[in-house]
Structure 1
Amino acid sequence: MNDPRIHHSEQGFTPRYVGEAASAIAATVAKLPAGAAAKFRALEDAAFAAEAAAGAAKARRDEKARPVATLRQAVATGTTPHPANLAYLAELEPELEHAEEVFRRFQAERVATGVAFSVIQRALEALPPNARLVEVTPPAPKKGDTVTSVRETISSLKRDANSLETSAPTTEEQMDTLRGAIAERAKAGRPRMDRSGRLRTEAAANAQAAALSVMCWTFPEIVFERMVAEGALREGGALTAAEKATHLATLRAQLFDAEVLEEALIVRDGGTRRSDADPFAILGIRVEASAKRRAA
C-alpha cells in the first residue's frame, strides 16, 4: 500500500493530509486580528516569492554552468586547447561567477524568509483552542533606535531572564525541598502488616535503597541534619519563587515589547529577522488566556 506522505508527488490529486493542514492553518489565521492576518499573508507571499526567485536564479546558474563544464573538460583533456575554446571559456567564467553569486544571495533570502514563515506557522498551529489573540500597537521608534541597538537590548533582557531562572532557590525553599524528598522516600520505608502478620516495606532496588527508605521514615530529622552537614544545600538565592515569577513576568513583557519594536524597525529600515525572533512579536499579537480560563 502506498503511503501518500511518501508518494504524493506521483499522484494526480492533493493528498488529504495536505488539505487538512491547510484548512487548520486557515482556520487559525481567520481568528487573527486583521493586521496580523494581513502580515501573515504577506510573509507567506514573501516566502513563496523567495522560493521562486531562488529557483529561477538556480536555473540561470545551471544554464551558465553547463557550457562552462563542457569547455573545461575539453581544455583539460586536450593536448593543445583550441584558442577559440579558451577565449569562450574566459568569457563565460565571469558570467558563471556572477550567476553563482546571484543564486547564493537569492538562496540566503529564501532560507531566511522560509524559516521565519515556518516558525510563525508552527507557532499558530500550536496555539490552544481557547487562546485569545490581542493586537498590539508597535511603539514609535525613538531617535537613535536601530535594529542593532534593539537587538542588544533583547540580548541583555534574555541574559537577565536566564540568570533569574537559573538562580538558586532561597535557603528556606531548599530546606523545604529536601524535607519533601525525605518524606517522599519515607513512604517506601514505612512498614505495613500483610495478611500473614508479617511486616513488610515496599520493594527496593537494593539493600542500600531499602535502608535509606527506612531511615527516612524512622529518623527524618537526623537524615535531614546529616545531609545539611554534608553540604546538600547550596548558597541560597535572594528571591523566593514567587518574587522570581513576578520579576520574570516583567522581563518577559519587556522582551516582547523590544521584539515588537525590532520588527517595526525591520519593516521600516529593512534587514533579516533573527531565527529565534518571537513569531507573535513579528505578527504584532499578544497571546492571552481566554476569559473563562482566567476566571477559573
Structure 2
Amino acid sequence: MNDPRLNHHVQEFTPLYVREAATAIAATVAKLPPAAAAKFRAFEDAAFAATAAADAARAKRDEKARPVTTLREAVARSADPHPANLKLLAQFEPELEHREEVLRRFQAERISTGMAFSAIQRVLEELPPNARFVEVTPPAPKKGETLAAARETIAGLKGNIAALEHSAPTVEEQEATLRAAIAKRGEAGRPRMDRTGRLKTDAAATAQAAALAVACWLHPEAVFERMVAGGALRDGGTMSAAEKAAALATLRASLFEAEVLEEALIQRDGGTRRNDADPFAILGIRVEVGTRARAA
C-alpha cells in the first residue's frame, strides 16, 4: 500500500484578506474616470515592469558574481596565484562592477516607481464605498512655466497651510475651551447619594484629582480665574475657527491646483515626482465623499 504521506505537497493559496483587498481596489478603479483608470494601470504596469527588470538585473549580477567569488577565493588561498586565474579575474571584475551599477539603477527605478504606485493604491484603498470621482482637466502649461517654479509655489502653499493649522485660537475660543474642560471635570466632582445614604462622586481615585473635580463643580468661575491668572491661555490668534477653516479650504484648493499643474509639467517636460505628491492630483481626479456623493 502506498503511504499517502509520500504524496504530500504544500498547497499554495492566496490569503483571503489579499483577495478581498484586490477585489476592493479593482472595484474602486472601475469607478474611476477613463483617463484616471488608464493612468492607474500604467503606474501598475510600470511598477511590475520595474520589479521584473530589477530581478533580471540581479540574476545577471549573481551570474557574474559566482565565478568572480570563486576566482577571488582561489587567488587568496594561493601564495603564487596561477596567471590564468589572475587574467580571468582582471577580465571578470570590471564586468561585475558594470552589472552592479546596472542593478543599482534598476533598483532605484523599482523603488521610485513602486513608491508612486503604492501611494496611489493606498489612498484608493482607504476611500469609503460612497466616494465619487470627478475628473479634473489639467491645465495646459504656459510657455516659460517650469517644474521648479511650480514646486516653489507648492512649497509656499504647504508652509502657509502648516502655519495656519498651528496658529493659536482666539482668546475667546481658548476661554470657551477652558470653561468646557472645567465644566466636564466638575461633572465628575458633582456629589451624589448612594442607596446607603453616603455621598459619592465619580472623580478619579487619587485625592488630588478628586479635589480638583469637586472644586470645578463647587467654584468653576474661581478655578477659571485662577487658571487664567496662572497663564493657562496663550496669546490669541486673529482668526476664528470658522474663518480659519475657510482659509484652509481655499489654501488646500490652491495647493491641489498647483499639484495638478505640476503633474502636467512632468507630462510635458519629464522629471521625477515628489514622494509626497498628491496621488489624486497625479490621477487628475477630485474625490467627493459624504452627502454630496450619496446624492449623486
The TM-score with structure 2 as length reference comes to 0.91
Aligned AA (1:104): R
> What is the one-letter code of the residue matched to 1:187?
E
Superimposed CA distance per residue, residues 53-82 of structure 1 (whole angstroms, 9 cap, x where no aligned partner): 111111111111111111111111111112
Partner of 1:199: 199
| 1:33 is aligned to 2:33 | yes
- Equivalent pairs: percent with the same residue? 73
Q: Contact 2:216–2:223 (CA<8 Å) still a contact in 1? A: yes
For the Cα contact (< 8 Å) 1:132–1:290, is it kept in 2? no
Q: Which residue does 2:102 correspond to in 1?
A: 102
Please say if 1:259 is aligned against 2:259: yes
Over aligned residues, Cα RMSD in angstroms?
A: 1.9
Can you list the C-alpha shifts for 1:34-56, whole angstroms capped at 9, x where unaligned?
00000011111101110111111
Letter aligned with residue 95 of structure 1: E
One-letter identity of the residue aligned with 1:41: R
Q: Is the 8 A contact 1:133 1:286 kept in 2?
A: yes
Amino acid at match of 1:153: T
Distance in 2 separating the partners of 1:269 and 1:97: 32
SS in 2 for 1:271: coil
Helix, strand or coil at the partner of 2:134? strand
Secondary structure of the corresponding residue to residue 133 of structure 1: strand
**Contact between 2:134 and 2:286, CA under 8 Å: does it hold in 1?**
yes
Letter in 1 for 2:167: S
CA distance in structure 2 between the partners assigned to 1:262 and 1:100 by the alignment: 34
Q: What does residue range 1-296 of structure 1 map to in structure 2 within 5 Å?
A: 10-289=10-289, 292=292
The Cα of 1:189 is off from its aligned counterpart by 1.6
Is the Cα–Cα contact under 8 Å of residues 131 and 293 in structure 2 kept in the other structure?
Answer: no
8 Å CA contact retained: 1:68, 1:89: yes
DSSP-derived class of the 1:28 partner: helix
Q: CA 1:225–1:12 in 2, change beyond 3 Å: closer, same or farther? A: closer
Between the aligned partners of 1:222 and 1:212, the Cα distance in structure 2 is 12
Distance between the aligned counterparts of 2:184 and 2:203, measured in 1?
15
Extract unaligned runs of 5+ from structure 1.
Answer: 1-8
1:152 Cα deviation (Å)? Answer: 2.0
The alpha-carbon deviation at position 21 of structure 1 amounts to 2.5
Q: Which stretch shifts more, 196-205 or 178-187?
A: 196-205
Judge which range, 67-76 or 241-250, deviates more: 67-76
Is the Cα contact below 8 Å between 1:138 and 1:260 reproduced in 2? yes
Are the counterparts in 2 of residues 71 and 85 from structure 1 also a CA contact under 8 Å?
yes
Give distance in 2, aligned partners of 1:42 and 1:244. 39
Determine if contact 2:183/2:220 at 8 Å carries over to the other structure. Answer: yes
Query: Are 2:71 and 2:89, in contact at CA under 8 Å, matched by a contact in 1?
Result: yes
Q: Which runs of 5+ in 2 are unaligned?
A: 1-8
Residue type of the alignment partner of 2:38? A
Q: Cα distance, 1:148 vs. partner?
A: 2.5
2:274 aligned counterpart, secondary structure: coil
Residues 124, 168 of structure 1: CA spacing in aligned structure 2 closer, same or farther, 3 A cutoff? same
C-alpha displacement of 1:262 = 1.5
Is contact 2:128-2:289 (8 Å) kept?
no
Mean CA deviation greater in 33-42 or 195-204: 195-204
Distance (Å, rounded) in 1 between the aligned partners of 2:128 and 2:164 = 28
Deviation at 1:227, TM superposition (A): 0.6
* Alpha-carbon distance in structure 2 between the residues aligned to 1:158 and 1:77: 60
Conserved 8 A contact 1:280-1:286:
yes
The answer for the alignment partner of 1:4 in structure 2 is: none
| C-alpha distance in 2 between matches for 1:151 and 1:70 | 50
Residues 224-281 of structure 1: CA deviation (Å, up to 9, x unaligned): 1111111000111111111110111011111111111122222222222222211111
Asked if structure 2 preserves the Cα contact closer than 8 Å seen for 1:169 and 1:240, the reply is: yes
Cα 1:204/1:256, change in 2 over 3 Å: same
CA–CA distance in structure 1, aligned partners of residues 141 and 17 of structure 2: 43
Query: Is the partner of 1:287 in helix, strand or coil?
Result: strand
Matched pairs, number: 287
